[in-house]
């Protein structure tokens, strides 16, 4: 078992460079399977999601090679299988992303129900109904989806925002015959990164006004070279770390255009930042003020930033409210923060039109789930023994540990490694006292 041991109370200072976006790199690898010749993916992160996607590709017969430790070469030429193991499928939430390339090559895809973080149900109905709209048949057999058919262009409107569903349909429709129109398509910048890469491969994809994506299917794809966009979630992680520890961190490659909601929130609480052409400097200058945050699909305040913000608000002067509207059960980490002395009350706000406000499927909600937190600050957090249960909560608990007095031990480190490259060593570079130990 791997654990992290951190001693807090030290302002983090220095410079850090963002890695390639976790929410982009793995899907580019899958899209590359349309090409018989190797595609080159630059600036990829050395994280669990990349290695688990590589395992699936290699199990299917595809090739993944690392070139000069900086470039991934991916080819789908030798893909001979229509399915991959449940064991590999459980390592990641990427299973449905493989449907497009597998149908393109074999007319059939047998994929395990995806795994990933324990943050609530991922509404795969939005993926599957979209595939059906393009002519695929979908059956469930022994914890697997059996998807068959030759895809044809069509029109599909997502009932609610879905980042993953938009990814899956964009990839699949790229090889469908005819024209596909996706309505109410998600707008996250990682999707645009995918579109740019597919277009380099020969796809014909255009974003239109009103959350519409138009896709002209093509029959042939060619290799492409693409650099993964910088990880905006990492940028927020280091920005919150600077403010929570009363430090000063310059985040290289941070792009303000994809961080507008976060930067606006930072300004409102009295946090400081400076933008230049190469990145953003985040620094603490005066006591932080409380906030009222509601998570929204892009361009709103991202759900992946929510747990980091909760930790930050334990250091603000006053009562803050954070309302999570994307996932139905994302406050599991709060019980761990309470072990450190955090004063947080979970509750369910009065919502007159829940089906319009909440992005999750209401039938997945449970009476024991809470959708909002009231945070009382400032609080002097104290070290404790903590368990990490999902990726973003894990980063938040590390942030809490670096803010707290005394020593904190964290288990469940594999969740962090799934989405952050060497996070502990990069924090050490900024002055953090944090060590990785094997037990």
**pTM for the full predicted model:** 0.96
Tell me which of 19, 39, 117, 240 is the catalytic residue.
117
pLDDT at 249: 98
Q: Is 300 exposed, middle or buried (0-12, 13-18, 19+ CB in 10 A)?
A: middle
CATH fit for domain 2-19+230-438, picks 3.10.129.10, 3.40.50.460, 3.65.10.10, 3.90.79.10: 3.65.10.10
Angle at 419 between CA 44 and CA 315, to 5 degrees: 125
- Six-digit token pair at 232? 């905006």
pLDDT tens, 170-221? 999 999 999 999 999 999 999 999 999 999 999 999 999 999 999 999 999 9
Residue 117: active-site member: yes
pLDDT at 92: 72
Q: In the chain, what's the furthest Cα-to-Cα distance?
A: 62
Same CATH topology for 2-19+230-438 and 22-227? yes
Backbone angles phi, psi at 227, to 5 degrees: -105, 125
| 347 vs 371: CA distance, rounded Å | 7
Domain spans, the chain: 2-19+230-438, 22-227
| 314 vs 244: CA distance, rounded Å | 9
Name the CATH architecture for the domain at 22-227.
Alpha-beta prism (3.65)
Alpha helices per DSSP H over 69-122: 86-89, 99-106
- Residue 143 has what DSSP assignment? S
Tens place of pLDDT per residue across the chain (439 aa) = 889 999 999 999 999 999 999 999 999 999 999 999 999 999 999 999 999 999 999 999 999 999 888 899 999 999 999 999 888 887 777 889 999 999 999 999 999 876 544 434 556 888 999 999 999 999 988 888 999 999 999 999 999 999 999 999 999 999 999 999 999 999 999 999 999 999 999 999 999 999 999 999 999 999 999 999 999 999 999 999 999 999 999 999 999 999 999 999 999 999 999 999 999 999 999 999 999 999 999 999 999 999 999 999 999 999 999 999 999 999 999 999 999 999 999 999 999 999 999 999 999 999 999 999 999 999 999 999 999 988 888 999 999 999 999 999 999 999 999 899 999 999 999 999 999 998 7
- Six-digit token pair at 82? 């229509």
How far, in Å, are 86, 88, 196, 305 from residue 323 at the CA level?
35, 34, 33, 12
pLDDT tens, 273-320? 999 999 999 999 999 999 999 999 999 999 999 999 999 999 999 999
């Amino acid at each position: 078992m791997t654990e992290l041991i951190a001693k807090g109370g030290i302002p983090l200072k220095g410079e850090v460079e963002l890695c390639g976006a976790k929410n982009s790199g793995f899907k580019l690898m899958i899209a590359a399977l349309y090409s018989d010749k190797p595609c080159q993916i630059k600036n990829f992160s050395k994280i669990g999601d990349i290695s688990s996607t590589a395992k699936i590709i290699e199990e299917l017969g595809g090739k993944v090679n690392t070139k000069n430790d900086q470039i991934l070469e991916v080819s789908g030429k030798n893909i001979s299988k229509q399915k991959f193991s449940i064991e590999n499928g459980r390592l990641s939430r990427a299973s449905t992303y493989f449907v497009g390339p597998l149908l393109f090559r074999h007319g059939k895809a047998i994929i395990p129900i995806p795994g990933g973080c324990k943050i609530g149900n991922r509404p795969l109905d939005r993926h599957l109904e979209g595939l059906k709209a393009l002519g695929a048949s979908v059956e469930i057999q022994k914890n697997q989806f059996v998807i068959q058919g030759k895809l044809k262009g069509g029109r599909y409107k997502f009932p609610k925002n879905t980042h993953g569903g938009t990814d899956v349909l964009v990839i699949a429709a790229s090889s469908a015959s005819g024209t596909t129109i996706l309505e109410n398509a998600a707008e996250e910048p990682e999707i645009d990164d995918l579109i740019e890469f597919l277009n380099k491969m020969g796809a014909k994809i255009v974003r239109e006004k009103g959350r519409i994506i138009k896709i002209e299917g093509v029959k042939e794809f060619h290799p492409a070279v693409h650099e993964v966009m910088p990880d905006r979630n990492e940028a927020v992680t280091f920005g919150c770390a600077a403010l929570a520890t009363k430090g000063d961190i310059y985040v290289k490659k941070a792009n303000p255009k994809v961080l507008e909601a976060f930067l606006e929130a930072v300004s409102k609480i009295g946090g400081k930042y400076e933008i230049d052409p190469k990145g953003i400097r985040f620094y603490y200058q005066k006591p932080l003020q409380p906030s009222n945050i509601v998570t929204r699909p892009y361009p709103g305040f991202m759900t992946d930033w929510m747990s980091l913000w909760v930790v930050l608000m334990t250091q603000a002067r006053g009562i803050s409210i954070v309302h999570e509207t994307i996932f139905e059960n994302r406050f599991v980490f709060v019980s761990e923060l309470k072990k450190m002395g955090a004063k947080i009350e979970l509750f369910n706000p009065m919502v007159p039109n829940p089906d319009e406000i909440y992005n999750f499927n209401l039938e997945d909600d449970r009476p024991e789930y809470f959708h909002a937190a009231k945070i009382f600050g400032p609080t002097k957090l104290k070290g404790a023994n903590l368990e990490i249960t999902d990726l973003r909560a894990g980063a938040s608990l590390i942030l809490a540990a670096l803010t707290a007095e005394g020593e904190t031990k964290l288990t469940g480190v594999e969740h962090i490694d799934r989405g952050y490259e060497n996070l502990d060593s990069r924090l050490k570079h900024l002055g953090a006292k944090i060590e990785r130990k094997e037990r």
